[in-house]
Structure 1
Amino acid sequence: MNEQRVSHRPGLRAWLGLLVILGPVLLVAMDGSVLFLAMPKVTEALSPTADQALWILDVYGFAVGALLISFGSIGDRYGRLKLLMIGAAAFGIGSAGASFAPGPELLIAFRALMGVAGATLLPSVLAVLSELFTDPHRRARAIGIFAATFAAGFALGPVVGGQLLSRFWWGSVFLVNLPVVVLFLVLAPVLLREVRAPRAGHVDAWSVLLSAVGLLLTVYAVKHAATEGLTATSAGAGIAGIVILGWFTRRQGRLRYPLIDFGLFRDRVFTIAIVTGLLPLMAWSAAAYLGGSYLQSVLGLPVLDAALLALPGAAVLTVTCLVTPALVGCIGKRAALLTCHFCVAVGLLLLVPTSVSGGIVWYIASTVVAGLGYGISFSVVADTAVAAVPTERAGSAAALAETSNEIGNALGIALLGSLAALLFRIQGPDIADTLSGTLQIPGLAPEVISDAKTAFVTGLHAAAVVAAILHGTLGFLTLRWMPKTSPVQPMTVRSPWRRTWTRRPECDDGDGFRHVLRRGGGRGTS
């Protein structure tokens, strides 16, 4: 990149382009969590089974996570702006269909379409953003705004959903996406430029298919076994899913352009980083979903009150995302990751004192303390992963870090949500698959209602304890495996997703930072 390009000052068009980009980013982040408070209303309207309710919640995250890397490569080859436009249009269609879905099956299908569309949006946004802001200082500021928007959207999704549901029907949480999508489709061709990679790798269609099918079959088996018991169907799906995922793993080792470079996991620090991207999102999504149901279905709070109670945790998470780069500069990545796991574990354990009769204070304390850990993980995971691998493999490391976040979000509902559903099925009154479904049955005796609520709270506690134990274990491994001083000499300060800034003595941009764009499969400096 020449000097004239680096020193170019962005005008009004660039900042307007940033605002246009932030719309889809906010929607993709929010739609990963907007249903957490809305599920009691959805259950009341559509009467899904327990496993259908779980699919409604997490098929979106699985679609995003399974296709994120693939669509990054497709955008490199055919144009990222073009992919953004197609993805935004598909996201709008999926949102409109989900808003008016007459049954759980169609709602699941439209949520899957929204997830596929979301996977087209995220990999291309930062590449388009880099074309708007060629000056390193202003580009850093713009990317910081982007990162804060994504974190805020993810944290505020349940709050926005609660606000909408207090005034409108459940489909409004999807219908609200349409004005943003229409505005993007109108303004994006005017304000944004097309971006292509000069050398894009081949996208292996078989790898995309194997990863998606294997993951979905495995998760289906877990959910079906939790809600219906172990049957031939769930066992067969589980075995088939594991075999397909094994096939996928072996295939990656033979490809020149693998979808996932599993060789990176030989590095312990990289493995810690990827698992740290996975576990906090698992814990956060499960706790947000089960906590929202607890506030509404167990304590009987209106949806608006439940949404307001989620605000402190959302605020802490967002602020932590913004201050974490400075924190890492003071205490180092190792201490930051230890703080992350400790805060999440303690925050989850604060859910254990909740009961059928009360627990609002414990819920707020849990979201605030755990929010510190979630915010740290959002900010440092990808940078830790990238710093642990050779420079030529930085793109693959960054892509895996991003994918771990999306898969973790979905797995939280799939695994921890299934654990809660299993305990409800075992200990509950055996009238309906879910607590919301049970409470809708008229004429229930007070003791039956109490038993149902107690069974749900038991499932909430079990999910929280299991997630806390996993975080404690990962914290111990971080303490053992991660060196006190990073083996990589440069200190990197990073906002979430793909743009990083690396401090090196030989930098010459005037602020001591060399700006590095790491993408799936390659590396370019700007």
Structure 2
Amino acid sequence: MTEVEAVQPAEAPSQAGSRRAWLGLAVLVLPVLLVSMDISVLFLAMPTLTLDLDPSATQQLWILDIYGFLIAGFLITMGNLGDRIGRRNILLVGAAVFGVASIIAAFAPSAGVLIAARALMGVGGATLLPSSLALISSLFPNVRERAAAIGVWTAFFAGGSAVGPILGGLLLHHFWWGSVFLINIPVLLILLAFGPFVLPEHRSSVLGPLDIPSVVLSIGGILPLVYAVKHLAAEGFDVEALVIGAVGVALLTIFVRRQRQLAEPLLDLRLFRRVQFSVAIGSSLTGMMSLAAMSYLTSVYLQSVTGRDPLAAAMFGIPMAVAVFVFSMGGARVARRFGVRSSFVFALLASAVGNLLLLGVGVDGGLAWYLVGSTIAGIGYGLAFTMVSEVAVSSVPPERAGSAVGISETSFELGNALGLALLGSVAALVFRSGGDYSETLGETIQRSGGNTALIDSARESFVSGMHVATSVGAVVLVVMAAVAYFAPRQSH
């Protein structure tokens, strides 16, 4: 049995719900907000960033994707590492890494440097999420107060991705694109200044060695597989896509087999035998896939199709951001009143309906459809995301709760990255099939030489791609809702 050592600072919170505990929570939600916000903050910045750095279509996707994929790949690893060296320690180290990477990203002279900086931000971000959620258990021993604190944590996590484009729009209205990264610095300085005094330390004194091969296999399997999907969408089926995709599948297969053999696996696959746990993870994965694609594509639409500047485009995202945040805060109460199963089904279907309403959006109008659709989708996303962590943890024995939390967070980040890679690639494929265009709508407009017919045709093609991608996302959500509804109530 694992021994746990809890190391308290001199004036650490000693009573559940004390003022210092809630102050500690306020400090903990800061990095959570930053990590989730930095997933989407670049959506509105991509057009202006493209003008300065001139990234290729593939580089544009990697600028958006590499951050989420490295977070997803390192979350469970960093959670395990935090158990060994101390959760507060790794939180503060991760904050420092995240800050340095943010500065590099802000002043990146080329697309390659920006991709590398985003990758480093992903590694730093992977230390912040599991350690911050795990420390809530130390701050709030009382079950009810802990549930309330986790609800606040989830609301900031879910709301951050919706707030990102809005904050990005405000910054881009006054500053250059690098400002969306520099905004991280003052927030991280607050965490580094107050964290050592208001957060308790917590570490395990007896644990087996960290399984490095599992870490390598997980990262080495995910990245080639997603690259193959992107390549298929951009270039069509060829030997390169087949070989790289096969390498990814092979490495992930070896990873799964290794986890089944280890006494202390990096990823406890036995958790997926529990139906409620699997439903929660599937809901977070599909929800974030559709949300990421919807947010990115509509950000491009509002700027490159309707011609709005970043600030005006950001204002249209406010209703959705408010819906996500508010319903994240109230999701637990909804689940208690109507039941977890019914709440999940409703949340997923509401998200699907919101995505389908975007079919009413066109080149020359339909913004009311966007506002209504994104708000309804925000209600569904907010409800679903706030239930995921609670259901994932409550559906497993207490001794596996830490592993369950790591998996649920990984599903959020992986879903975001897959949404941009898969659904984003679908939209790009439909766009390019509509005519002799450049790789992206922005490049097509930039290189059109004022050819109005070409620009109008390209915008129509982009809207068609957005319709197809968001419809596919809606279908995935409906399928997940059906799985949640028909899943057996108990798993043995």
Which shows bigger deviation, 470-479 or 123-132? 123-132
| CA spacing shift, 1:274–1:138, aligned 2, 3 Å | closer
Q: Provide the rounded CA distance (Å) in 2 between the counterparts of 1:397 and 1:129.
A: 15
8 Å CA contact 2:151–2:328 kept in 1: the answer is no
C-alpha displacement at 1:55, in angstroms? 1.0
Query: What is the TM-score of this pair, normalised by structure 1?
Result: 0.87
Partner residue, 2:466 = 460
SS across alignment from 2:201: coil
Query: Which residue does 1:447 correspond to in 2?
Result: 453
Task: Give the Å deviation of 1:444.
Answer: 3.6
> How much does 1:107 deviate?
0.8
Distance 2:146 2:487 in 1: 34
Q: Aligned pair in 2 of structure 1 residues 367, 204: CA closer, same or farther (>3 Å)?
A: same
1:43 shift after superposition: 1.6
**What's the counterpart of residue 303 of structure 2?**
296
The residue type paired with residue 71 of structure 1 is: M
Aligned to 2:409: 402
> How do residues 329-408 of structure 1 correspond to structure 2 at under 5 angstroms?
329-408=336-415
Is residue 54–residue 413 contact of structure 1 (8 Å, CA) maintained in 2?
yes
Change (3 A) 1:331 1:135: closer
Amino acid at match of 2:124: A
Say whether the 8 Å CA contact 1:345–1:471 is kept in structure 2: yes
SS of 2:358's partner is coil
Q: Which runs of 5 or more residues in structure 2 are unaligned?
A: 5-11
Partner residue of 1:76 out of 72, 75, 83: 83
Structure 2 CA distance for aligned equivalents of residues 273 and 144 of structure 1: 15
TM-superposition CA deviations, 1:401-434 (whole Å, max 9, x none)? 221111101110010001111112222323x210
Distance 1:209 1:10 in 2: 40
The reply on whether 1:97 has 2:104 as its aligned counterpart is yes
Tell me the CA shift for residue 35 of structure 1. Answer: 1.1
Q: Does the CA contact (< 8 Å) of 1:14 and 1:132 recur in 2? A: yes
Alignment of 1:410-421 (within 5 A): 410-421=417-428
Alignment check: 8 A CA contact 1:354 1:362 kept = yes
- Deviation at 1:376? 1.4
Residue equivalent to 1:117: 124
Q: Which amino acid aligns with 2:160?
A: G
Matches within 5 A, 1:23-422: 23-134=30-141, 139-422=146-429
Aligned to 1:493: none
Query: Deviations for 1:13-50, whole angstroms, at most 9, x for unmatched residues?
Result: 44443333232222112111111221112122212111
Instruction: Give the number of aligned pairs.
Output: 483
Q: Could you say if the C-alpha distance between residues 392 and 171 of structure 1 is closer, same or farther in structure 2, counting changes exceeding 3 Å?
A: same
| TM-score, normalised relative to structure 2 | 0.93
SS at match of 1:195: strand
Residue 133 of structure 1, CA deviation: 4.3
Kept after mapping to 2: 8 A contact 1:128/1:195:
yes
What is the one-letter code of the residue matched to 1:259? L
What's the CA shift for 1:115?
0.7
Query: 1:89 deviation in Å?
Result: 0.8
- 1:209 shift after superposition: 0.8
Match of 2:477 in 1: 471
**Structure 2 Cα separation of the partners of residues 336 and 128 of structure 1:** 28
CA contact (8 A) 2:273 2:491 kept: no
Change (3 A) 1:141 1:393: closer
Point out the more displaced range, 329-338 or 191-200.
191-200
Contact residue 20 and residue 188 of structure 1 kept, 8 A = yes
- Contact 2:151/2:332 (8 A) holds in 1: no
1:427 aligned counterpart, secondary structure: coil
> What are the residue-to-residue correspondences of 1:491-502 with 2, within 5 Å?
none
Q: Judging by fraction of residues, say which structure has more helix.
A: 2
Identity %: 46
Q: Which segment drifts farther, 98-107 or 130-139?
A: 130-139
For residues 328-369 of structure 1, the C-alpha deviation after alignment (integer angstroms, 9 at most, x for no partner) is 111101110110121011111011121111221111111111
**2:439 equivalent to 1:433:** yes
**How far apart are residue 390 of structure 1 and its match?**
4.4
Quote the Cα distance in structure 2 between the aligned partners of 1:284 and 1:471: 11
Structure 1 residue 135: Cα displacement: 5.5
Give ranges in structure 1 of 5+ residues lacking alignment.
Answer: 489-526
- AA paired with 1:327? V
Checking the alignment, whether the CA contact within 8 Å between 1:280 and 1:408 is kept in structure 2 is: yes
- How far apart, in 1, do the equivalents of 2:399 and 2:193 lie? 38
Match of 1:523 in 2: none
| Alpha carbons of structure 1 residues 273 and 214: separation in structure 2 relative to 1, 3 Å | same
Residue 141 of structure 1, CA deviation: 4.6
Distance 2:352 2:151 in 1: 28
